[in-house]
Amino acid sequence: MMNDQDAWDQATAISGTAYDSLPHDTTAELDDLIDEIMQLKQKLVELVTCAGSSEICRNCGGECCLLGKYHVSVLDMLAYLKTGADAVIPDFSPGPACPYSGESGCLMPPGYRPVTCVIFNCQMIEDRLTAAERETLQRYENRLRQAVARTGRICGTRLDRPLLLSCT
């Protein structure tokens, strides 16, 4: 049976090959959607950061990040390929910490984080938000989900499936 690192390496390689072999028009459309998705993720994180989430999350120690292993999707990996940025290097050694986290929290910049991670806010964060801010977050989330769904439609396969399970 493949271990997590092997599954990650294999899925990353297959995603790269699939991305490189897309027809030109599909790549252009997909790249535009990836841009939009990254911007929406950034906005989602910025809004809660402005509401004071950093300090709250630091004090909490990242309770909601303990189950992050399968949050990274094929589409999240394509964002690294599209931008040419170095992909996050996971640490799959046993332990409760998310493989994509370090001493200062998530190793991924906001625009590269998984959808699940950027849309979830616990009650402590929710309590800091105004009604207008919650509405704005909901609007961003809806647009994010729609953009992710469109990537699947143009590629003919769901890209939001977990990267680590994409080769099994």
- Is 63 among the residues that bind ligand SF4 (CB under 6 A)? yes
- Closest to ligand SF4 by CB, 79 or 108: 108
The residue ranges of DSSP E strands in 35-141, in sequence order, are: 101-102, 105-106
Q: Supply angle C-alpha 121, 40, 71, rounded to 5.
A: 55
Determine if 60 is a binding residue for ligand SF4 (CB under 6 A): yes
Q: Which is nearer to ligand SF4, 27 or 110 (CB)?
A: 110
Taking CB under 6 A as the criterion, the residue among 56, 81, 154, 167 binding ligand SF4 is 56
Cβ closer to ligand SF4: 3 or 59? Answer: 59
Spatial distance between the Cα atoms of 153 and 16, rounded to a whole number of angstroms: 19
Q: Does residue 46 bind ligand SF4 (CB under 6 A)?
A: no
- Cβ-count burial 12-44 (b if 16+ within 10 Å, e if not): beebeebbeebeeeebebbbebbebbbebbbbb
Asked if residue 151 binds ligand SF4 (CB under 6 A), the reply is: no
One of 44, 117, 137, 147 touching ligand SF4 (CB under 6 A)? 117
